Structures are given as C-alpha cells and as structure tokens.
Amino acid sequence: MAAAETCVVTYLEMRAAGRAKRPWPGSAFRIEWVRPSVRFYRYLYASVGDGWFWELRKRFDDAELAAIVHDPRVEIHLLTEGGVPAGYGEIDRRVPNEAEITYFGLVPELVGRGLGRWFLEQITARAWRTWPERVWLHTCDLDHPRALANYEAAGFRVYDRQVEPALSPAYARAPIYG
C-alpha cells in the first residue's frame, strides 16, 4: 500500500468538567506527575506511539524536546503497573485558559483490556485541576480504531475536522496492535 499523504484530524473539546465513571482498575496501577528526562520521554513516546505512527517528536533534537517537556506548563502523567511504565498522558497548558491533552495512550500490552477509558477519565480530571475554559485534544484516522468513540464517550465533543498532511511515509496503513 502506498504511503498516505494526508489524514483526517478530528478536534474535540470539553467545556465543563465531568465526573470519572470508571472504577480504579486495581492496586497495581498508579498515576504520577513526572518530569522525565528527554531520554525517558523518548522511550515513553515510542513505547506508546510507535504502533500509531507518532512521528513528530522524533524529529525534535534534545534541546527542542526538553523545551517542551520541561516547561512548567506541560505535565507528563505516567501510568505504571507494578512500577513498570504502562502509558502516559501529556497535558499542555501553554495557551492561557486551555488545557490540551497533547499525547495520551497505553503500551501495546494493555491496549484492548478496558483501561483506555479509565485512564482518559483520570487524565481529563487532572486537566481540569486548574479550571481552564476548555480541555481539548485531537485524534486522526490513523489512531486506534476506537479512539474517537472513546473520547466522545468520555464527554468530548467534535468541534472541527480537517484533512492535514501526514507527517511521515510511515503513516501508510500497516498492521497495528490494538
């Protein structure tokens, strides 16, 4: 199959905080706000995103990436299972009165086990901690097939769709886990 030149990006937002509905999945899971080294961030980004063709931040040199992930307005929330990284959510508050969930996901071994909605609810609740006017995120048609439905079920509403250039030839549909 030829490489995709474009993808459909769906933008979603939430204008009021909701309540987490899913119970905590078990004592082995923890979420903590971390300030990772650039090296550890690259590990998380690849561990969670490689199956979904996350490419953009791989193009950043260490200084560019550090400027983002070490910015005090950017939060990295690490999900662990028994102390082992299981996923992460990134909240960017650099735009006043907004919280963008810029990256969110689980490691491949946990995809499909029902943890995604619970983890999304937890990250969304953390995004609302500073009472922004809105919490928003985007997804694209190259993401997990249930991503958009998961975001909508969590209370996010679509406000825009755009056809945008794909970031990499790797965006060609290939077998993915999930």
Structural domain contains residue 177: no
For residues 82 and 100, what is the distance between their CA atoms, to the nearest angstrom?
Answer: 28
Structural domain contains residue 143: yes
Structural domain contains residue 88: yes
Q: Does residue 168 have a pLDDT over 80?
A: no
pLDDT in tens, 34-76: 999 999 999 999 999 887 878 788 889 999 999 999 999 999 9
Q: Which of 7-11, 20-24, 162-166 has the highest mean pLDDT?
A: 7-11
Q: Which residues contact 1 (CB under 8 A, 6 or more apart)?
A: 172, 173, 174
Structural domain contains residue 102: yes
Q: Does residue 175 have a pLDDT over 60?
A: no
Structural domain span for residue 80? 6-171
Q: Does residue 157 have a pLDDT over 80?
A: yes
Structural domain contains residue 131: yes
Q: Does residue 141 have a pLDDT over 90?
A: no
Global pTM? 0.85
pLDDT band at 4 (very low <50, low <70, confident <90, very high): low
Domain CATH number, residue 142: 3.40.630.30
Q: Does residue 172 have a pLDDT over 80?
A: no
Q: Region 143-170: what's the mean pLDDT?
A: 83
For residues 16 and 173, what is the distance between their CA atoms, to the nearest angstrom?
Answer: 35
Structural domain contains residue 117: yes
pLDDT band at 176 (very low <50, low <70, confident <90, very high): very low
| Total tally of structural domains belonging to the chain | 1
Structural domain contains residue 66: yes
Structural domain contains residue 35: yes
